[in-house]
Amino acid sequence: MSTHFDPVPLVGTGVDPVADIEDWLASPPVRALVEAFARTDQDHELARDLAARKGDATERLARLDVFTRRWDTRRGRERNLADDLPVRPELQQLVRAAAEALGLCGGTRLRYGHYEHVLVLGGLIRACLARTAYAAHLIRTGRVTAGSVTALGGHRPFVGDEFELAALAGAPELGEEYEALDFGTRRAFGLQTPESVAGEESELPGGTWAVRTYRTPGRLPVRVVAAPSSRPQRRRADTADSYAFFAERVAELEPGDRLLLVTTALHVPAQHATAVRMLQLPFAVEVDTVGIEPSRAPEPARRPSGATACLLEIRSTVRALAELHAALR
C-alpha cells in the first residue's frame, strides 16, 4: 500500500474547474483511500470507476459522498466533539500521505504580492486565534499588502474545550465564536475601539449579524463580521453564507480583484472550492487560499491533525466539490 503520492492540484487553480474536479476524483490518493476503506464489491467498483473516469462526475461525486459517510464521526457536532475513528497504524500512514497530496497539510502558495481583500475565516477558538495572527504576520512582514482585511465568522456558542482554551489565551470572558474572532483580530492587528458597529439581532438560530470596523495605526481598514445564515430558522451561517454576506453586504467586489483567504491548512481544499463557487464564479475575482503554517500557530492554537481530522476534511472537500460542480453545470 503506497504511502507517497504526487501532489494533486487544488481544484479551482487550473484553467478549467470542471477538469480540475475530474482530475481530483481520478487521483491516486483518492482512489487509494476508497480501496483502503472499502467494505463491499460496490466500494471496489467505485474505486475502479474513479480511475476510469466512468460515468458523469456528478454521479461519481454523489457515490463518493455516500462512501465517505463512514468517516463522519461529527454527526452534526462541532469538529472538537468528533469521535476518533479506529484507524490501524498502516492506514494512518496512508491517510496522512493522501492528505498531504490533496493539500490538507500545507504547501499552498501566494501567487501575488498584493490583494484587494484578505479574508480570515473563523471557526473554533483555535482558528480564531491562529488565523488572525497568521494574516497579521503576512502583512506585517511584507509578504503581502492588502486593501482591506475582513475576519469572517458567525455567532456560534463555544462547546467542549473552547472555554478552557479561551482562559489559556487570557480571555476567560469569551463564550462564542464572533467574540473570539474579534478578540483575535484586535490582538493580532493591535486594534483599539471600532470606528463603527452595525448589526441586527434575531431570535432565530442563524438570524443575527454584526460588522465591526476598525483601522490599524497604519490606516488599514479591518472588519470583523458575523454573517447571518441563508436558513436562519434552521442553522447558523456556514462558510458559503459568510462568503455571500461579504460579497453582497460588506465589500464592493470588482472583476479582477484579488482575494486572499487565510484558513488552516486542513481546511484549504474545501474552503477554496466553496470560494470558487461563491466568489470567483459570480464576481469574476481571483481567489487564493493559504493555510496557516503549523510552526506559526500560537499556543494553544497549535494542535496536530490525526487521521480522523483528515478524513473528515476530505469528506468536506467531496461535498464542496459536488456543490461547485453543480454550479459549473
pLDDT tens readout for residues 121-169: 999 999 999 999 999 999 999 999 999 999 999 999 999 999 999 999 9
First to last CA, the chain: 36
The whole-number average pLDDT for the span 62-66 is 98
Please say if the pLDDT value at position 311 is more than 80. yes
Neighbours of 251 (CB within 10 A): 21
Burial class of residue 91 (count of CB atoms within 10 Å of its CB; 0-12, 13-18, 19+): middle
Over residues 240-254, mean pLDDT? 96
User: From the CB of residue 154, how many other CB atoms can be counted at a distance below 10 Å?
Assistant: 26
Residue 296, pLDDT score: 59
- Of the candidates 326, 321, 328, 241, which has an alpha carbon nearest to the alpha carbon of residue 21? 321
Per-residue pLDDT tens digits for 175-190: 999 999 999 999 999 9
- Nearest to residue 204, comparing CAs of 159, 236, 177, 156? 236
- Same domain for 256 and 144, yes or no, is yes
HEC profile of 10-75: CCCCCCCHHHHHHHHHHCHHHHHHHHHCCCCHHHHHHHHHHHHCCCCHHHHHHHHHHHHHHHCCCC
What pLDDT score was predicted for residue 293? 66
Over the chain, what is the mean pLDDT?
93
Mean pLDDT of 108-128: 94
Co-location of 120 and 225 in the same domain? yes
State whether 61 and 160 are in the same domain: no
**CA–CA dist 172, 170 (Å, integer):** 6
Cell of 186: 484586535
* Interacting residues of 170 by C-beta distance below 8 A, sequence separation 6+: none
**pLDDT confidence band for 109 (50 / 70 / 90):** confident
Confidence of residue 32 (pLDDT cuts 50, 70, 90): very high
* 236 in the same domain as 248: yes
C-alpha cell at 176: 462564542
Task: Clarify whether residues 99 and 123 are in a common domain.
Answer: no
Q: Are residues 215 and 90 in the same domain?
A: no
Mean of pLDDT values over 310-320 = 97
Residues 151 and 32 in one domain: no
* Residue 238: domain span: 114-303
% residues pLDDT > 90 (the chain)? 83
Q: What's the pLDDT band for 236 if we cut at 50, 70, 90?
A: confident
pLDDT at 298: 58
CB 53 within 8 A of CB 30: no
Residue in the structure block whose three cell numbers are 495605526 = 217
Query: How many Cα atoms occupy the beta-carbon half-sphere of 182 within 13 Å?
Result: 21
The answer to whether residues 85 and 126 belong to one domain is no
Q: What length is written for the chain?
A: 329
CB 46 within 8 A of CB 37: no
Task: Count the domains in the chain.
Answer: 2
For residue 326, report the phi and psi dihedrals to the nearest 5 degrees.
Answer: -65, -40
Question: What is the DSSP code string of 169-218?
Answer: TT-TT--BHHHHHHHHHHHHHT--S-SEEEEE--SSTT--EEEEEEE-TT
199 and 233 within one domain: yes
Tell me the average pLDDT across 75-89. Answer: 82
Q: Which residue has the higher pLDDT, 302 or 73?
A: 73
Mean pLDDT check: name the lowest of 103-117, 166-180, 294-308.
294-308
C-alpha cell at 169: 489565551
Distance CA 222, CA 234 (A): 30
**pLDDT value, residue 9:** 94
Question: In Å, how far are 50, 122, 290 from 312, measured between CA atoms?
Answer: 20, 18, 19
pLDDT digits (tens, 9 = 90+) for 289-301: 999 865 555 555 5
pLDDT tens string 274-291: 999 999 999 999 999 999
Q: What nine digits make up the cell of 279?
A: 466568489
**Cα 261 to Cα 280: distance, rounded to the nearest angstrom:** 12
pTM metric for this prediction: 0.93
Calpha distance 61→67 (Å, rounded): 10
274 in the same domain as 161? yes
Q: Are residues 146 and 165 in the same domain?
A: yes
| Same-domain status, 236 and 163 | yes
